[in-house]
Amino acid sequence: MKIKTVSIVGCGWFGLPLAKALVEQGYVVSGSKRKADAAAALTLDGISGFSLDFDKQQFNGVVIEEGEPGFDEPTLTELHQHLHTQAIVINIPPAMVKSPGAYLKRLGFLKRLMAGHVYQRIIFVSTTGVYPASEKPVTEDDAAMHSPSSEVLLEAENLFRELPDSCIIRFAGLVGPGRHPGRFLAGKQNLSGRAAPINLVHLDDCIGAVSCILSARPVSPVYNICANQHPGREAFYSVAAESIALKAPTFNEEEQVGKSIDGSKISADLDFQYRYDDPFDMLGEC
C-alpha cells in the first residue's frame, strides 16, 4: 500500500523543509512544533501543525513543567490523530551538551505515544556521531560506543530500531540555507588534522533520502546519508570561508585520525542519487 500520510516530529531546520517538500509531492503531512503559535503557523504551508512539548505536561489546560510528561485526554486524542499516520519521521535534536538524559526521556515518551499503532514506515533521524575515528571508510556496520554522546545516540537508535518497518538514517554534517560551512571554522587558528577527511551532506539530499525511503520497499535498517567525496579539512574550509569573505582557518602539522563516511549504500539499494556529491559544489547552495 502506498504511503499517503506522514507525521514529522520536529519541524525545525530540516523538518520544516522536509514537510514542505512532502506536501508538494502529494503527501498529507502533520508536523510538530513545541509552541502552539508556531504549530498553527504551519498551516500556511499546507501542513497540519500540532504542538508537542515533551518537557511539559498538561492537565485540564493547565501546564505543569515538572515530572513525567503527560497530557489530558483531549490533548492526547489530538496528538494521536496527528501521530498515528501511515509513516512517521522522528527528528528530535539530541541537545547533548545541555541535557543528554532529557533526549532519551523525550524519545521514550514519544515511543509510548506511538504504541499500539501500526506504521508502514518509521524513520528515525540520527547522526554519524555514532562512528569512532577510523583509517578505513566507515559503513553502517561500524557504529560503536566510543564516547558518552555516542552511547546516548546508539541507545536512542535502539529505541526505534526494534520496531517493525523502521529505518535509521545517519546524517553527516548538515549544510544548506543558514548553515554555510564557511562559518564552521572561519578565523580559528592552530587547528589539527589538516588532511582529515570531511563528511558533509546538503539539506536537499537529506530531503531526497527521506522521500526515497518513504516510497521504497523494502529498505535496510540503517543508511548513512553523506556526500561520497571527502576533501581534507584545510583544503575545504579555507575555500569555504573565503567564498563568503571570511578569514580562512589555519592548521598546524599535527595529524588527526578522522573518518570517511561511506554514504553509498542507499544509492546501491534504492538507486538514490545525490545532488551534491562533492562538498565544494555545496558552497554556492547554502
In a domain, 132, yes or no: yes
In a domain, 168, yes or no: yes
In a domain, 31, yes or no: yes
Joined grid coordinates for residue 189? 587558528
Which residues fall within 8 angstroms of residue 158, CB to CB, at 6 or more apart?
A: none
In a domain, 235, yes or no: no
pTM equals 0.93
Question: What does the pLDDT look like over 133-161, one tens digit per residue?
Answer: 999 999 999 999 999 999 999 999 999 99
C-alpha–C-alpha distance, residues 184 and 182, integer Å: 6
In a domain, 150, yes or no: yes
Segments of the chain with pLDDT less than 70: 56-71, 95-100
In a domain, 167, yes or no: yes
Question: What was the pLDDT predicted at 57?
Answer: 54
In a domain, 210, yes or no: yes
Task: Give the DSSP H or E segment for 66.
Answer: none
Q: Structural domain tally of the chain? A: 1
C-alpha–C-alpha distance, residues 260 and 176, integer Å: 20
- AA identity, residue 152: V
For the chain, where are the E strands, in sequence order?
5-9, 28-33, 48-51, 57-59, 62-64, 87-90, 121-127, 166-171, 173-175, 200-202, 222-225
> Could you tell me if 208 and 169 are in contact, meaning their C-beta atoms sit under 8 angstroms apart?
no
Domain of 269, in residue numbers: 5-177+199-230+257-285
C-alpha–C-alpha distance, residues 235 and 65, integer Å: 48
In a domain, 182, yes or no: no
> Could you tell me if 43 and 36 are in contact, meaning their C-beta atoms sit under 8 angstroms apart?
no
CATH assignment at residue 127? 3.40.50.720
